[in-house]
Chain A
Amino acid sequence: MAVKALTGLAVRSRSLEWAVIHKAGDKEALASTHSVDLELGPDQQNVLAGLQAERDRLIADIRAKCGRVPSPASLGIPASWVLLRIAELPSGDPEEMKSMAELQVDKFSPFPVDESAVSYEVLSDENGRCRVLLSAIRTDTINILADALREAGIQPKWVDINLLGWWHLLKDAEKVHPSGSQVFIILEDSTCDILVSTAGIPLAMRSLSNMEDLPAEEADQDIARETAYTLSSLDLDRHGGHPTEISIWHRGASPEGLIKIFAEQFKIGSRPESLDSLPTLAEGLLRRATTRTAGRMDLAPPAWLEEANAKRTRRRIMVSSILAATLWLAGMVALFGSIQVQKSGIASLNDDLAALKAPAEKVRAVRDRTQSLTKYMDRTFSGLECLREVSDRLPPGITLKTFNYHKNKNLELNGEADEYAQIADLKQDLERSKLFVASSLSRTQRTKDGKEAFKIVCTLPGGEQP
């Protein structure tokens, strides 16, 4: 059974993290999770900036640190790189949804449509209306990253968003409540992702980047301000009431400053949670990739699919051409070879025949002489036996005129009968004799004295016509 691998690759500002799953039939096994820090220059804020400044060095760094990453890979990019918007749209089939998503994105995206990769994800679908997460990114941005990864030996197939990977992990860890509104603040990798959900369905997603450039207190103020702005922009009453919980997901030390600001600004308290209590982000992306369906986020430009299809077609044509050429050549070799084999076989048989000719002739001569002598000595069909047979079968009223016997040929009888019926009876009677192979009544003629003259020829064994 063929084993297929799938990789979830989370791209962070300064690091890569990937998890690999191996699938064999219905069985899946998470093989490994890895994480590497990339060596970016001092003025390079993230991997994109690094690739634009020192592409070859960074590719070599990725290749050296990542080694061989199994294909295909589902790439996760930071939410801060992407334009995100949640909207409500009428339900429809995937093609219609895609068209509607492109129209909606065109309203808020500053990028030209033909230079953008647009995608959507259905968050909920009820009563003919669905809530979708719309996203857009410049094709150039995603291509810079994907081309570099391909050169480093990693083959991205889908492009996902890291925040959706976290959301998947939160749901799997049952941190998302089926009722009430929740605010999730994810502090990681110098970014802050804010996700507001109601009844387990996201209502808003925000992302703040380059937080490390700011003093800690100012960064906390920014996060609190953005959270307040996000909450105020949502009509939470309509969707299920005020937030019941604010959870701050972080790494390392608890963000006490931020918790203090939240406590001052909001009526409800905030609760710190460690990201280390969840599986890795790469695993979250991988889980999404293994359950990928239509209506899932994929910011891979259409050209990737076309290129993959073209590559697959090229490979199939090449394989089938090689196969066909091999079969053709094998067929030709077999055909021409078999003719040579036939010729050589005929030559060999001719030699055998020539060698057998003299001894066979000798045996044939002995056989012919033996058969001739046997026939000579055989009294079964002698003249005396034929005479006895005819005498026995001759009915009254028939007179034989001549009896001509020729050994191994025939017996010719000429005679006269009172009636034709007697001749016919004699002929039939002779036909039944074991001495004769056949008998024929070749002639009958009425004589002057009113009798029927006849001639019957009985064939003896060895006298048959060839």
Chain B
Amino acid sequence: MKISPREMVLAWVTGVIAIGGLTFFLADPQIKEWKVLSGKKADLQREVDKQKALIAQAPKWDAKLRDLKKKLPTHPQGKDVTTDLQILIERLAKANNVNLISRDAEKETQKGNMFEVAVNCKWEAKLASLTHFLFDLQKEDVILDISQLTISPNEKLVLRGGFIVYCSYSRAVPAGGERE
């Protein structure tokens, strides 16, 4: 059979169209999958980079935490810190003419090898006394932190309110014990 050039060209064009269709049929789902995989890979790569960057910061955070821990007071294991804290608050209040109506100590909480105790107090004082009291609290070597403070005047034109003061500290590690 002899095929003319025109027939050859037509056959070629038909073949190209058929291959184009086949390509679309085969490649389209693959391209979609490739895009999904590509996105997933990029997300994973970002996550890996993030984790690596975080791990690379380990020495910095360790050093910073070490410095901060040096500022925390250390108490022996089993020692009741709540009483000491209440005594301290009472002393500072008296020194600044702040009348503590009530003191309510909460239970000691532990975060890693850090401990925390909160004392909820009701008070009565003039503005200047309160200000000096708060200033003295901040000055104390022990880490005391006022997390809540409410102030409202009463009928006698004396301020009244409450505060919650947190005290953070660490405890001495017993011999042979693990330190985090």
Contacts and interface: CB of A to CB of B under 8 A. Distances in A.
B174 interface: no
Contact of B149 (A317, A328, A403): A403
Interface in B111-140: 111-112, 114, 127, 130-131, 134-135, 138
B38 A352 contact: no
A349 interface: yes
Contacts of A353: 44, 47-48, 51
Contacts, number: 150
Report the contact-size class of chain A (Cβ under 8 Å from the partner): 35 or more
B27 interface: yes
A359 B47 CA distance: 14
Contacts of A53: none
Report the contact-size class of chain B (Cβ under 8 Å from the partner): 35 or more
A379 B134 CA distance: 11
A369 B168 CA distance: 13
B172 interface: no
Interface string B144-180: 0111111111000000010100101000000000000
Interface in B67-123: 68-69, 71, 111-112, 114
Nearest to A310: B5
Contacts of B24: none
Contacts of B65: 366, 369-370, 373
B14 interface: no
Interface in A62-95: none
A339 B57 contact: no
Contacts of B69: 373
Interface string B4-39: 110011001001100100010011001101100110
A373 B51 CA distance: 23
A403 B150 contact: yes
Interface in A376-431: 376-377, 379, 382-384, 387-388, 391, 400-407
Q: Is the interface of A mostly helix, strand, loop or mixed?
A: helix
Contacts of A356: 48, 51-52, 55
B37 A384 contact: no
A338 interface: yes
Contacts of B4: 310
Contact of B38 (A336, A342, A391): A342
A366 B62 contact: yes
Contacts of B19: 324, 328
Given A376-B145, A402-B150, A403-B152, A339 B61 contact: no
B58 interface: yes
Contacts of B51: 353, 356-357, 360
B149 A363 contact: no
A150 interface: no
A367 B111 CA distance: 13
B140 to A, nearest CB: 12
A133 B131 CA distance: 127
A430 B177 CA distance: 51
Given A346-B37, A401-B152, A339 B54 contact: no
A383 B163 contact: yes
Contacts of B112: 365, 369
6 contacts: A335-B27, A345-B41, A363-B57, A373-B69, A382-B138, A383-B146
Contacts of B68: 370, 373-374, 377
Contacts of A324: 16, 19
A342 B134 contact: no
Contacts of A369: 65, 111-112, 114
A309 B138 contact: no
A384 B57 contact: no
